[in-house]
């Protein structure tokens, strides 16, 4: 990953924002799986295509820039990320 090589501080403000949003999307894609429920104790969640696209659009807009990456980790739909 190029950021590990050059460092986040070397990026422009716009590029840092792009990286932050990409990391949020990566975390958002980590929805809990039903098959892992027996191991994690966390219930699996299903998020449909339309809801996933809505989440992507919100992450790519400036609306959710104030949330941390962790808010998007192991949540179902995007509304759960904004509540956490």
* Token pair recorded at residue 1: 């990953």
pTM: 0.84
Token digits of residue 46? 């299903």
What does the alpha-carbon distance between residue 29 and residue 32 come to, in Å, rounded to a whole number? Answer: 9
The CA distance from 19 to 16, in Å, is 5
Residue range(s) defining the domain that contains residue 73: 2-83
Would you state the pLDDT for residue 3? 80
Q: What is the mean pLDDT of each run of 10 residues along the chain (84 residues)?
A: 79 91 95 90 93 96 95 94 85
Q: What residues contact residue 59 under an 8 Å CB cut-off, 6+ apart?
A: 21, 24, 25, 28, 72, 78
- CATH code of residue 7: 1.10.1140.10
Please give the pLDDT value at position 10: 84
> Considering its fold, how many domains does the chain have in total?
1
């Amino acid at each position: 990953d190029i950021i590990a090589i050059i460092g986040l501080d070397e990026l422009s403000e716009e590029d840092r924002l792009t990286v932050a949003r990409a990391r949020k999307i990566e975390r958002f894609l980590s929805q809990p799986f039903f098959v892992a429920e027996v191991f994690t104790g966390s219930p699996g969640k299903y998020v449909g295509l339309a809801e996933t696209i809505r989440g992507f659009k919100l992450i790519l807009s400036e609306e959710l820039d104030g949330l941390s990456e962790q808010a998007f980790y192991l949540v179902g739909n995007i509304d759960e990320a904004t509540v956490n």
